[in-house]
Amino acid sequence: MGKSVFITGASSGIGRSCALRFAETGAELILTARRHDRLQALAEQIRNTYQTIVYTLSFDVTHAGEMQSAIESLPRHLRCPDILINNAGLALGLKPFHEASYDHWDTMIDTNVKGLLNLSRFISPMMVQRGSGHIINIGSIAGKEVYPNGNIYCATKAAVDSLTKAMRIDLLPYGIRVSQVAPGAVETEFSVVRFEGDEERAKSVYAGYKPLSAGDVADVVLWVAQQPPHVNISDVLVMPAAQASASIFHKKF
């Protein structure tokens, strides 16, 4: 492949698996997240296994200034990657609307929506100037359908769904492809984060059926990225075979 790929949220789950999948193709990687140690360990594993170039940047996507300084520390040719994968995101809590935490709302909106906006707004002008690029946003089934107590998380992913369409329209004249991969249930650290470290509760989300793995989703992201230049996979909804909609699962206990 030989492309440069910038991945947010590469310290865990889907982002980490994307890093490994793209590394196999020989891509130059820019891996970002807040947890520096995890990024370093992953970068070392990738360099040793695939002999590919990997840069790591530790920043919080909600801090636009921090993000911009981190990108400016990269060699000039990597500041505008061929592919940007906007993956960093999280859910916090699962409470009815009238009981949900204001702090959780702020963090989800700032991370899932403003984080994606900050980064895309910073990098897309460079793609426009170059006349090429591919932005792949990780949405969710939660952005297409609302489920009980999902309220603000679902709304942030609906925003990702809308922004993907908006970016595709506005960046169309400049040779920039914009895609969304929207997964159903994927077993990662997502539910441990959502339930603030409650491992048992997190495990129960994936009990009785086979969820997607982060690698399953990374395979789809790689497929989207590997299409010929005249093809854009605009939107992929990928779910476990045991999931029919945001809240309907076939579970066997």
Enumerate binding residues for ligand NDP (CB under 6 A): 8-15, 33-35, 60-62, 87-90, 111, 115, 138, 140, 183, 185-186, 188-190, 193, 214
What's the rounded Cα separation, in Å, for the pair 23 and 222? 11
- Report the nearest approach of ligand 8X3 to the CB of residue 246 (Å): 5
Q: How many CB atoms lie within 10 A of CB 57?
A: 20
- The residue from 8, 120, 140, 151 that contacts ligand 8X3 (CB under 6 A) is 140
- Could you give phi then psi for residue 211, rounded to 5 degrees? -75, 170
For residue 128, the one-letter residue type is: V
Span of 37-45, 75-83, 114-122, 139-147 interacting with ligand 8X3 by CB under 6 A: 139-147
Residue 153: active-site member? yes
According to the binding rule CB under 6 A, does residue 202 interact with ligand 8X3? no
- Report the nearest approach of ligand NDP to the CB of residue 51 (Å): 24
Q: How many Å separate Cα 242 from the centre of its chain?
A: 23
205 has which bridge partners?
Answer: none
Q: Which of ligand NDP, ligand 8X3, none interacts with 189 (beta carbon under 5 to 8 A by kind)?
A: ligand NDP
According to the binding rule CB under 6 A, does residue 84 interact with ligand 8X3? no
For residue 100, the one-letter residue type is: A
Do 82 and 132 form a contact (C-beta atoms < 8 A)?
yes
Do 245 and 142 form a contact (C-beta atoms < 8 A)?
no
Instruction: Please report, in angstroms and rounded to a whole number, the separation of the first and last CA atoms in the chain.
Output: 43
- Report the nearest approach of ligand 8X3 to the CB of residue 170 (Å): 25
- Residue identified by tokens 């129960």 is 204
- Could you give phi then psi for residue 192, rounded to 5 degrees? -65, -40
Which residues in the 141-180 window bind ligand 8X3 by CB under 6 A? 141-142, 150, 153
By C-beta, is 57 or 171 nearer to ligand NDP? 57
Q: Which of ligand NDP, ligand 8X3, none interacts with 246 (beta carbon under 5 to 8 A by kind)?
A: ligand 8X3
By C-beta, is 38 or 47 nearer to ligand NDP? 38
What's the rounded Cα separation, in Å, for the pair 107 and 79? 26
What's the rounded Cα separation, in Å, for the pair 23 and 46? 7
Q: Which of 102, 147, 153, 174 is catalytic?
A: 153
Q: What residues line the site for ligand 8X3 (CB under 6 A)? A: 140-142, 150, 153, 185, 246
Catalytic residues: 153
